[in-house]
Structure 1
Amino acid sequence: MSVSGTSSANSVTDNLSITKKTETKKNTNELGQAAFLELMITQMNNQNPLSPQDNSEFVAQLAQFSSVEGLERLNNSFNSFMSNNALQASSLVGRSVTVESEKSTLVKGGIVAGSADLAYSTNNLKINIYDEVGAIVQTIPVGEVPQGEMVFRWDGQNMEVNGKLLDWEAGDDAAAAGQYRFEITADQNGKNEALKTSLSANVNSVTIGENGKLILNLAGIGAVEAEKVKQFN
Protein backbone atom coordinates (compact mmCIF):
# COMPACT_ATOMS: atom_id res chain seq x y z
CA MET A 1 0.00 0.00 0.00
CA SER A 2 1.41 3.41 -1.01
CA VAL A 3 0.50 6.49 1.03
CA SER A 4 1.87 9.85 -0.14
CA GLY A 5 0.42 13.32 0.21
CA THR A 6 -3.08 14.74 0.55
CA SER A 7 -4.42 13.17 -2.65
CA SER A 8 -3.73 9.67 -1.36
CA ALA A 9 -5.41 10.48 1.94
CA ASN A 10 -8.49 11.79 0.13
CA SER A 11 -8.58 8.60 -1.93
CA VAL A 12 -8.55 6.50 1.24
CA THR A 13 -11.37 8.65 2.62
CA ASP A 14 -13.46 8.10 -0.51
CA ASN A 15 -12.86 4.34 -0.44
CA LEU A 16 -13.85 4.01 3.21
CA SER A 17 -17.00 6.12 2.63
CA ILE A 18 -16.92 7.53 6.12
CA THR A 19 -19.79 9.86 7.01
CA LYS A 20 -20.27 11.82 10.19
CA LYS A 21 -23.33 11.03 12.27
CA THR A 22 -25.46 14.01 13.28
CA GLU A 23 -27.18 12.37 16.24
CA THR A 24 -25.95 13.29 19.73
CA LYS A 25 -23.69 10.76 21.43
CA LYS A 26 -23.00 10.28 25.11
CA ASN A 27 -19.60 11.35 26.40
CA THR A 28 -17.25 8.36 26.56
CA ASN A 29 -13.57 7.70 26.97
CA GLU A 30 -13.71 4.72 24.60
CA LEU A 31 -12.41 5.05 21.04
CA GLY A 32 -14.78 3.34 18.65
CA GLN A 33 -13.99 2.07 15.16
CA ALA A 34 -15.45 5.07 13.29
CA ALA A 35 -13.74 7.57 15.62
CA PHE A 36 -10.41 5.79 15.24
CA LEU A 37 -10.57 5.81 11.44
CA GLU A 38 -11.69 9.43 11.37
CA LEU A 39 -8.81 10.43 13.65
CA MET A 40 -6.32 8.50 11.55
CA ILE A 41 -7.55 10.03 8.28
CA THR A 42 -7.47 13.51 9.79
CA GLN A 43 -3.88 12.82 10.75
CA MET A 44 -3.16 11.76 7.15
CA ASN A 45 -4.85 14.84 5.70
CA ASN A 46 -2.72 17.11 7.84
CA GLN A 47 0.59 15.37 7.47
CA ASN A 48 3.53 16.96 5.69
CA PRO A 49 3.29 16.01 1.98
CA LEU A 50 7.07 16.19 1.78
CA SER A 51 7.42 13.77 4.69
CA PRO A 52 4.37 11.46 4.70
CA GLN A 53 3.69 8.87 7.34
CA ASP A 54 5.70 5.71 6.89
CA ASN A 55 3.73 2.79 5.46
CA SER A 56 4.89 0.44 8.20
CA GLU A 57 3.71 2.86 10.88
CA PHE A 58 0.32 3.13 9.19
CA VAL A 59 -0.04 -0.65 9.00
CA ALA A 60 1.07 -0.97 12.64
CA GLN A 61 -1.70 1.39 13.74
CA LEU A 62 -4.29 -0.64 11.85
CA ALA A 63 -2.98 -3.89 13.34
CA GLN A 64 -3.02 -2.44 16.84
CA PHE A 65 -6.59 -1.26 16.47
CA SER A 66 -7.69 -4.61 15.01
CA SER A 67 -6.14 -6.39 17.99
CA VAL A 68 -7.85 -4.13 20.53
CA GLU A 69 -11.16 -4.37 18.72
CA GLY A 70 -10.90 -8.18 18.61
CA LEU A 71 -10.23 -8.36 22.35
CA GLU A 72 -13.17 -6.05 23.03
CA ARG A 73 -15.51 -8.20 20.95
CA LEU A 74 -14.22 -11.34 22.67
CA ASN A 75 -14.78 -9.77 26.09
CA ASN A 76 -18.31 -8.68 25.15
CA SER A 77 -19.10 -12.17 23.84
CA PHE A 78 -17.75 -13.76 27.02
CA ASN A 79 -19.79 -11.41 29.24
CA SER A 80 -22.89 -12.20 27.21
CA PHE A 81 -22.16 -15.93 27.49
CA MET A 82 -21.73 -15.72 31.26
CA SER A 83 -24.91 -13.66 31.65
CA ASN A 84 -26.91 -16.23 29.67
CA ASN A 85 -25.41 -19.09 31.71
CA ALA A 86 -26.18 -17.33 34.98
CA LEU A 87 -29.75 -16.66 33.85
CA GLN A 88 -30.26 -20.30 32.90
CA ALA A 89 -28.64 -21.52 36.12
CA SER A 90 -30.89 -19.28 38.22
CA SER A 91 -33.81 -21.49 37.16
CA LEU A 92 -32.23 -24.27 39.26
CA VAL A 93 -32.90 -22.40 42.52
CA GLY A 94 -35.44 -24.35 44.53
CA ARG A 95 -34.88 -27.56 42.57
CA SER A 96 -33.22 -30.73 43.78
CA VAL A 97 -29.95 -32.11 42.42
CA THR A 98 -27.89 -35.18 43.26
CA VAL A 99 -24.19 -34.83 44.07
CA GLU A 100 -21.54 -37.01 45.68
CA SER A 101 -21.96 -36.47 49.43
CA GLU A 102 -22.56 -38.39 52.62
CA LYS A 103 -24.75 -35.65 54.15
CA SER A 104 -28.08 -34.17 53.17
CA THR A 105 -31.01 -32.33 54.71
CA LEU A 106 -34.43 -33.84 55.28
CA VAL A 107 -37.20 -31.25 55.11
CA LYS A 108 -40.62 -31.72 56.69
CA GLY A 109 -42.79 -33.79 54.37
CA GLY A 110 -39.88 -34.37 51.97
CA ILE A 111 -37.46 -37.16 51.13
CA VAL A 112 -33.75 -37.73 50.72
CA ALA A 113 -32.89 -39.60 47.53
CA GLY A 114 -29.52 -41.20 47.01
CA SER A 115 -27.48 -43.79 45.19
CA ALA A 116 -24.35 -45.92 45.48
CA ASP A 117 -22.44 -48.02 42.95
CA LEU A 118 -21.64 -51.68 43.63
CA ALA A 119 -18.72 -53.25 41.77
CA TYR A 120 -20.06 -56.68 42.75
CA SER A 121 -23.41 -58.06 43.78
CA THR A 122 -23.92 -58.51 47.52
CA ASN A 123 -26.25 -60.21 49.95
CA ASN A 124 -25.25 -58.01 52.87
CA LEU A 125 -25.86 -54.31 52.21
CA LYS A 126 -26.66 -52.07 55.15
CA ILE A 127 -27.55 -48.37 55.49
CA ASN A 128 -26.77 -46.49 58.68
CA ILE A 129 -28.29 -43.04 59.19
CA TYR A 130 -26.87 -40.59 61.76
CA ASP A 131 -28.22 -37.27 63.02
CA GLU A 132 -26.31 -33.97 63.27
CA VAL A 133 -24.61 -34.89 66.58
CA GLY A 134 -23.51 -38.31 65.29
CA ALA A 135 -26.14 -40.43 67.06
CA ILE A 136 -27.44 -43.31 64.98
CA VAL A 137 -31.08 -42.86 63.97
CA GLN A 138 -31.72 -45.98 61.90
CA THR A 139 -29.82 -49.09 60.86
CA ILE A 140 -31.48 -50.56 57.79
CA PRO A 141 -30.53 -54.11 56.69
CA VAL A 142 -31.14 -54.01 52.94
CA GLY A 143 -29.69 -57.44 52.27
CA GLU A 144 -29.27 -58.65 48.70
CA VAL A 145 -28.49 -56.05 46.01
CA PRO A 146 -27.28 -56.76 42.45
CA GLN A 147 -24.15 -55.30 40.88
CA GLY A 148 -24.48 -51.77 39.53
CA GLU A 149 -26.21 -48.66 40.79
CA MET A 150 -28.43 -48.90 43.83
CA VAL A 151 -30.92 -46.06 44.32
CA PHE A 152 -32.87 -45.34 47.47
CA ARG A 153 -35.43 -42.93 48.90
CA TRP A 154 -35.90 -42.14 52.61
CA ASP A 155 -38.71 -40.05 54.11
CA GLY A 156 -37.42 -40.13 57.68
CA GLN A 157 -39.16 -43.41 58.47
CA ASN A 158 -39.55 -45.67 55.44
CA MET A 159 -36.80 -46.75 53.07
CA GLU A 160 -37.29 -47.65 49.41
CA VAL A 161 -34.44 -49.38 47.56
CA ASN A 162 -34.43 -49.89 43.78
CA GLY A 163 -38.13 -49.11 43.67
CA LYS A 164 -39.06 -51.60 46.42
CA LEU A 165 -40.30 -50.55 49.86
CA LEU A 166 -38.33 -52.42 52.51
CA ASP A 167 -40.23 -54.46 55.08
CA TRP A 168 -38.46 -53.85 58.37
CA GLU A 169 -39.14 -52.45 61.83
CA ALA A 170 -38.91 -48.76 61.11
CA GLY A 171 -40.64 -47.66 64.29
CA ASP A 172 -43.69 -45.48 64.72
CA ASP A 173 -41.99 -42.08 64.79
CA ALA A 174 -40.44 -40.50 61.71
CA ALA A 175 -37.13 -38.72 62.02
CA ALA A 176 -37.39 -34.97 62.47
CA ALA A 177 -36.39 -32.51 59.78
CA GLY A 178 -32.66 -31.76 59.86
CA GLN A 179 -29.29 -32.78 58.50
CA TYR A 180 -28.37 -36.47 58.35
CA ARG A 181 -25.31 -38.50 57.41
CA PHE A 182 -25.66 -41.71 55.41
CA GLU A 183 -23.24 -44.62 55.67
CA ILE A 184 -23.66 -47.51 53.23
CA THR A 185 -21.64 -50.71 53.65
CA ALA A 186 -21.67 -53.93 51.64
CA ASP A 187 -19.70 -57.13 51.19
CA GLN A 188 -17.60 -56.63 48.05
CA ASN A 189 -15.30 -59.34 46.75
CA GLY A 190 -14.97 -60.95 50.18
CA LYS A 191 -14.56 -57.69 52.12
CA ASN A 192 -17.05 -55.43 53.88
CA GLU A 193 -16.53 -51.97 52.41
CA ALA A 194 -18.03 -48.49 52.74
CA LEU A 195 -19.50 -47.28 49.46
CA LYS A 196 -19.36 -43.76 48.05
CA THR A 197 -22.74 -42.16 48.41
CA SER A 198 -24.53 -39.57 46.28
CA LEU A 199 -27.43 -37.68 47.85
CA SER A 200 -30.08 -35.21 46.80
CA ALA A 201 -30.08 -31.61 48.00
CA ASN A 202 -32.05 -28.45 47.24
CA VAL A 203 -30.36 -25.59 45.39
CA ASN A 204 -30.52 -22.49 47.60
CA SER A 205 -28.67 -20.11 45.26
CA VAL A 206 -26.37 -19.95 42.26
CA THR A 207 -23.17 -17.90 41.94
CA ILE A 208 -20.33 -17.54 39.41
CA GLY A 209 -16.84 -18.35 40.67
CA GLU A 210 -13.67 -16.41 39.84
CA ASN A 211 -12.82 -19.00 37.20
CA GLY A 212 -16.20 -18.46 35.51
CA LYS A 213 -17.64 -21.76 36.70
CA LEU A 214 -21.19 -21.92 38.02
CA ILE A 215 -21.42 -22.72 41.72
CA LEU A 216 -24.53 -24.24 43.26
CA ASN A 217 -25.05 -23.56 46.95
CA LEU A 218 -26.80 -26.69 48.24
CA ALA A 219 -28.80 -27.03 51.45
CA GLY A 220 -26.90 -29.10 54.01
CA ILE A 221 -23.92 -29.57 51.70
CA GLY A 222 -22.55 -26.19 50.69
CA ALA A 223 -20.95 -24.89 47.49
CA VAL A 224 -20.60 -27.41 44.65
CA GLU A 225 -19.55 -26.76 41.05
CA ALA A 226 -22.42 -27.32 38.63
CA GLU A 227 -20.31 -29.70 36.53
CA LYS A 228 -20.11 -32.09 39.50
CA VAL A 229 -23.88 -32.59 39.63
CA LYS A 230 -24.70 -36.21 38.85
CA GLN A 231 -28.41 -35.71 38.29
CA PHE A 232 -30.97 -32.91 38.09
CA ASN A 233 -34.07 -34.23 39.86
Structure 2
Amino acid sequence: MSTVGSSTSSSSVTDNLSITKKQEANKTTNELGQAAFLELMITQMNNQNPLSPQDNTEFVAQLAQFSSVEGLERLNKSFNSFMSNNALQASSLVGRSVSVESDKSTLVSGGIVAGSTELTYPAKDMTMRIYDNAGALIQTIPVGEVPAGETVFRWDGQNLEVNGKLLDWEAGDDAAITGQYKFEITATQNGKAETLNTSLSANVNSVTIGENGKLILNLAGIGAVEADKVKQFN
Protein backbone atom coordinates (compact mmCIF):
# COMPACT_ATOMS: atom_id res chain seq x y z
CA MET A 1 0.00 0.00 0.00
CA SER A 2 2.84 2.31 0.87
CA THR A 3 4.34 1.75 -2.57
CA VAL A 4 1.11 2.61 -4.27
CA GLY A 5 0.75 5.72 -2.12
CA SER A 6 4.26 6.82 -2.96
CA SER A 7 3.67 6.29 -6.64
CA THR A 8 0.46 8.25 -6.52
CA SER A 9 2.12 11.08 -4.63
CA SER A 10 5.03 11.16 -7.07
CA SER A 11 2.63 11.20 -10.00
CA SER A 12 0.69 14.05 -8.43
CA VAL A 13 3.85 16.12 -7.93
CA THR A 14 4.93 15.43 -11.51
CA ASP A 15 1.52 16.49 -12.79
CA ASN A 16 1.67 19.68 -10.72
CA LEU A 17 5.13 20.49 -12.06
CA SER A 18 3.91 19.87 -15.61
CA ILE A 19 0.92 22.16 -15.08
CA THR A 20 3.15 24.83 -13.54
CA LYS A 21 5.55 24.70 -16.51
CA LYS A 22 2.65 24.99 -18.95
CA GLN A 23 1.29 27.98 -17.03
CA GLU A 24 4.72 29.66 -17.08
CA ALA A 25 5.04 28.97 -20.79
CA ASN A 26 1.62 30.54 -21.38
CA LYS A 27 2.62 33.59 -19.33
CA THR A 28 5.83 33.91 -21.33
CA THR A 29 4.24 33.75 -24.76
CA ASN A 30 1.06 35.53 -23.63
CA GLU A 31 -0.74 34.55 -26.81
CA LEU A 32 -2.88 31.72 -28.16
CA GLY A 33 -2.31 30.71 -31.75
CA GLN A 34 -5.22 29.96 -34.05
CA ALA A 35 -4.25 26.27 -34.36
CA ALA A 36 -4.08 25.89 -30.56
CA PHE A 37 -7.44 27.62 -30.21
CA LEU A 38 -9.08 25.26 -32.71
CA GLU A 39 -7.53 22.24 -30.97
CA LEU A 40 -8.86 23.48 -27.65
CA MET A 41 -12.32 24.01 -29.11
CA ILE A 42 -12.41 20.50 -30.66
CA THR A 43 -11.31 18.99 -27.35
CA GLN A 44 -14.06 20.90 -25.63
CA MET A 45 -16.60 19.54 -28.12
CA ASN A 46 -15.36 15.94 -27.71
CA ASN A 47 -15.64 16.14 -23.93
CA GLN A 48 -18.96 17.91 -23.67
CA ASN A 49 -21.93 16.27 -21.96
CA PRO A 50 -23.80 14.34 -24.69
CA LEU A 51 -27.04 14.84 -22.76
CA SER A 52 -26.51 18.59 -22.66
CA PRO A 53 -24.36 19.54 -25.68
CA GLN A 54 -23.06 23.06 -25.98
CA ASP A 55 -24.85 25.25 -28.46
CA ASN A 56 -23.03 25.50 -31.82
CA THR A 57 -23.60 29.24 -31.91
CA GLU A 58 -21.46 29.56 -28.77
CA PHE A 59 -18.53 27.89 -30.55
CA VAL A 60 -19.00 30.15 -33.57
CA ALA A 61 -19.10 33.20 -31.30
CA GLN A 62 -15.86 32.11 -29.62
CA LEU A 63 -14.14 31.60 -32.98
CA ALA A 64 -15.39 34.97 -34.26
CA GLN A 65 -14.15 36.69 -31.12
CA PHE A 66 -10.74 35.06 -31.46
CA SER A 67 -10.48 36.01 -35.14
CA SER A 68 -11.43 39.60 -34.33
CA VAL A 69 -8.76 39.92 -31.63
CA GLU A 70 -6.14 38.26 -33.82
CA GLY A 71 -7.04 40.59 -36.70
CA LEU A 72 -6.67 43.67 -34.48
CA GLU A 73 -3.27 42.49 -33.25
CA ARG A 74 -2.06 41.99 -36.83
CA LEU A 75 -3.43 45.40 -37.80
CA ASN A 76 -1.62 47.07 -34.90
CA LYS A 77 1.64 45.34 -35.83
CA SER A 78 1.25 46.38 -39.47
CA PHE A 79 0.42 49.97 -38.49
CA ASN A 80 3.40 50.22 -36.14
CA SER A 81 5.66 48.86 -38.87
CA PHE A 82 4.17 51.33 -41.36
CA MET A 83 4.70 54.29 -39.03
CA SER A 84 8.28 53.22 -38.29
CA ASN A 85 9.06 53.02 -42.01
CA ASN A 86 7.41 56.39 -42.66
CA ALA A 87 9.29 58.03 -39.80
CA LEU A 88 12.57 56.58 -41.08
CA GLN A 89 11.92 57.86 -44.59
CA ALA A 90 10.76 61.27 -43.32
CA SER A 91 13.91 61.64 -41.21
CA SER A 92 15.87 61.84 -44.48
CA LEU A 93 14.12 65.20 -45.09
CA VAL A 94 15.93 66.86 -42.18
CA GLY A 95 18.19 69.55 -43.59
CA ARG A 96 16.38 69.67 -46.92
CA SER A 97 14.16 72.44 -48.27
CA VAL A 98 10.42 72.09 -48.89
CA SER A 99 7.75 74.51 -50.12
CA VAL A 100 4.55 75.11 -48.15
CA GLU A 101 1.78 77.69 -48.32
CA SER A 102 3.07 80.68 -46.35
CA ASP A 103 3.87 84.37 -46.73
CA LYS A 104 7.04 84.16 -44.59
CA SER A 105 10.40 82.48 -45.05
CA THR A 106 13.94 82.67 -43.74
CA LEU A 107 16.90 83.82 -45.82
CA VAL A 108 20.10 82.02 -44.79
CA SER A 109 23.63 83.15 -45.52
CA GLY A 110 24.49 82.45 -49.16
CA GLY A 111 21.05 80.95 -49.76
CA ILE A 112 17.88 81.87 -51.61
CA VAL A 113 14.16 81.95 -50.90
CA ALA A 114 12.21 80.02 -53.54
CA GLY A 115 8.49 80.51 -53.94
CA SER A 116 5.49 80.35 -56.23
CA THR A 117 2.02 81.79 -56.74
CA GLU A 118 -0.92 80.87 -58.96
CA LEU A 119 -2.71 83.12 -61.44
CA THR A 120 -6.17 82.29 -62.76
CA TYR A 121 -5.88 84.98 -65.44
CA PRO A 122 -2.91 86.75 -67.07
CA ALA A 123 -1.66 89.83 -65.19
CA LYS A 124 0.16 92.88 -66.56
CA ASP A 125 1.12 94.59 -63.32
CA MET A 126 2.39 92.01 -60.83
CA THR A 127 4.38 93.55 -57.97
CA MET A 128 6.31 91.93 -55.13
CA ARG A 129 6.87 93.66 -51.81
CA ILE A 130 9.29 92.28 -49.24
CA TYR A 131 9.18 93.20 -45.54
CA ASP A 132 11.72 92.47 -42.84
CA ASN A 133 10.88 90.80 -39.54
CA ALA A 134 10.02 94.16 -37.96
CA GLY A 135 7.43 94.84 -40.68
CA ALA A 136 9.48 97.49 -42.53
CA LEU A 137 9.24 97.48 -46.35
CA ILE A 138 12.73 96.83 -47.74
CA GLN A 139 12.04 96.18 -51.43
CA THR A 140 9.26 96.87 -53.93
CA ILE A 141 9.93 94.91 -57.12
CA PRO A 142 7.81 95.49 -60.26
CA VAL A 143 7.46 92.10 -61.98
CA GLY A 144 5.25 93.30 -64.81
CA GLU A 145 3.34 91.03 -67.19
CA VAL A 146 2.86 87.42 -66.12
CA PRO A 147 0.83 84.67 -67.87
CA ALA A 148 -1.91 82.62 -66.22
CA GLY A 149 -0.82 79.55 -64.30
CA GLU A 150 2.00 79.01 -61.84
CA THR A 151 4.61 81.73 -61.40
CA VAL A 152 7.84 80.65 -59.68
CA PHE A 153 10.45 83.01 -58.24
CA ARG A 154 13.81 83.01 -56.45
CA TRP A 155 15.16 85.81 -54.26
CA ASP A 156 18.74 85.95 -52.98
CA GLY A 157 18.29 88.98 -50.72
CA GLN A 158 18.90 91.43 -53.53
CA ASN A 159 17.88 90.21 -56.98
CA LEU A 160 14.63 88.52 -58.05
CA GLU A 161 14.32 85.82 -60.68
CA VAL A 162 10.81 85.11 -62.02
CA ASN A 163 10.00 82.10 -64.19
CA GLY A 164 13.70 81.56 -64.85
CA LYS A 165 14.43 85.18 -65.89
CA LEU A 166 16.41 87.66 -63.80
CA LEU A 167 14.52 90.94 -63.53
CA ASP A 168 16.28 94.08 -64.78
CA TRP A 169 15.62 96.59 -62.04
CA GLU A 170 17.48 98.77 -59.55
CA ALA A 171 18.21 96.29 -56.78
CA GLY A 172 20.54 98.62 -54.90
CA ASP A 173 23.99 97.90 -53.50
CA ASP A 174 23.01 96.48 -50.13
CA ALA A 175 21.79 92.89 -49.99
CA ALA A 176 19.31 91.88 -47.31
CA ILE A 177 20.85 90.31 -44.23
CA THR A 178 19.94 86.82 -43.06
CA GLY A 179 16.65 86.53 -41.19
CA GLN A 180 12.93 86.12 -41.67
CA TYR A 181 11.05 88.04 -44.37
CA LYS A 182 7.44 88.46 -45.42
CA PHE A 183 6.46 88.37 -49.10
CA GLU A 184 3.43 90.13 -50.54
CA ILE A 185 2.50 89.70 -54.21
CA THR A 186 -0.24 91.79 -55.81
CA ALA A 187 -1.64 91.67 -59.34
CA THR A 188 -4.70 92.72 -61.31
CA GLN A 189 -6.59 89.70 -62.63
CA ASN A 190 -9.64 90.07 -64.86
CA GLY A 191 -9.87 93.76 -63.88
CA LYS A 192 -9.63 93.10 -60.13
CA ALA A 193 -6.61 93.94 -57.93
CA GLU A 194 -5.73 91.07 -55.60
CA THR A 195 -3.17 89.96 -53.07
CA LEU A 196 -2.11 86.47 -54.13
CA ASN A 197 -1.44 83.43 -51.99
CA THR A 198 2.19 82.34 -51.95
CA SER A 199 4.10 79.14 -51.26
CA LEU A 200 7.62 79.61 -49.92
CA SER A 201 10.62 77.40 -49.26
CA ALA A 202 11.80 76.50 -45.75
CA ASN A 203 14.39 74.15 -44.31
CA VAL A 204 13.25 71.07 -42.39
CA ASN A 205 14.74 71.24 -38.88
CA SER A 206 13.20 68.04 -37.51
CA VAL A 207 10.44 65.46 -38.03
CA THR A 208 7.96 64.20 -35.41
CA ILE A 209 4.86 61.98 -35.37
CA GLY A 210 1.64 63.63 -34.16
CA GLU A 211 -0.99 62.05 -31.90
CA ASN A 212 -3.09 61.26 -34.98
CA GLY A 213 -0.19 59.37 -36.54
CA LYS A 214 0.55 62.07 -39.10
CA LEU A 215 4.11 63.12 -39.82
CA ILE A 216 4.91 66.67 -38.70
CA LEU A 217 7.72 68.69 -40.27
CA ASN A 218 9.20 71.43 -38.11
CA LEU A 219 10.21 74.15 -40.58
CA ALA A 220 12.65 76.99 -39.97
CA GLY A 221 10.84 80.32 -39.64
CA ILE A 222 7.41 78.71 -40.09
CA GLY A 223 6.92 76.08 -37.40
CA ALA A 224 5.11 72.73 -37.38
CA VAL A 225 3.45 71.70 -40.65
CA GLU A 226 1.84 68.36 -41.52
CA ALA A 227 3.77 66.49 -44.21
CA ASP A 228 0.74 66.29 -46.51
CA LYS A 229 0.67 70.11 -46.64
CA VAL A 230 4.02 70.19 -48.47
CA LYS A 231 3.56 71.37 -52.04
CA GLN A 232 7.07 70.62 -53.26
CA PHE A 233 10.28 68.96 -52.12
CA ASN A 234 13.11 71.19 -53.36
Query: Does the pair score TM above 0.5?
Result: yes
1:27 counterpart SS class: helix
- 2:15 equivalent in structure 1: none
Moved more, 195-204 or 31-40: 31-40
- Alignment-mate amino acid for residue 176 of structure 1: I
- 1:80 equivalent in structure 2: 81
**CA deviation vs aligned residue, 1:35-75 (integer Å, no higher than 9, x gap):** 43454345445544543433222222111111111122122
Instruction: Tell me the matched-pair count.
Output: 210
Larger radius of gyration: 2
Q: CA separation in 2, counterparts of 1:126 and 1:96?
A: 25
- Alignment-mate amino acid for residue 70 of structure 2: E
- Aligned residue runs from structure 1 range 1-233, under 5 A: 27-44=28-45, 46-233=47-234
Unaligned runs of 5+ in 2: 1-21
1:51 counterpart SS class: coil
- Alignment-mate amino acid for residue 111 of structure 1: I
Unaligned runs of 5+ in 1: 1-20
**Percent identity over paired residues:** 84
**CA deviation vs aligned residue, 1:131-163 (integer Å, no higher than 9, x gap):** 111011111111222222111100111111111
Shift of 1:130: 0.6
**Bigger share in helix:** 2
**CA deviation vs aligned residue, 1:194-216 (integer Å, no higher than 9, x gap):** 11111011111222222222221
- Alignment-mate amino acid for residue 222 of structure 1: G
2:75 counterpart SS class: helix
Q: CA separation in 2, counterparts of 1:42 and 1:183?
A: 76
Shift of 1:191: 2.6
Shift of 1:108: 0.7
2:28 counterpart SS class: coil
**CA deviation vs aligned residue, 1:81-100 (integer Å, no higher than 9, x gap):** 22222222121111111111
**CA deviation vs aligned residue, 1:113-141 (integer Å, no higher than 9, x gap):** 00111222222111111111101111111
**CA deviation vs aligned residue, 1:168-194 (integer Å, no higher than 9, x gap):** 121212111111100001122223211
Moved more, 48-57 or 191-200: 48-57
Question: What TM-score do the two structures reach when normalised by structure 2?
Answer: 0.81
**CA deviation vs aligned residue, 1:18-37 (integer Å, no higher than 9, x gap):** xxx9xx78714333334434
Q: CA separation in 1, counterparts of 2:151 and 2:183?
A: 14
- Alignment-mate amino acid for residue 189 of structure 1: N
Q: CA separation in 1, counterparts of 2:188 and 2:135?
A: 24
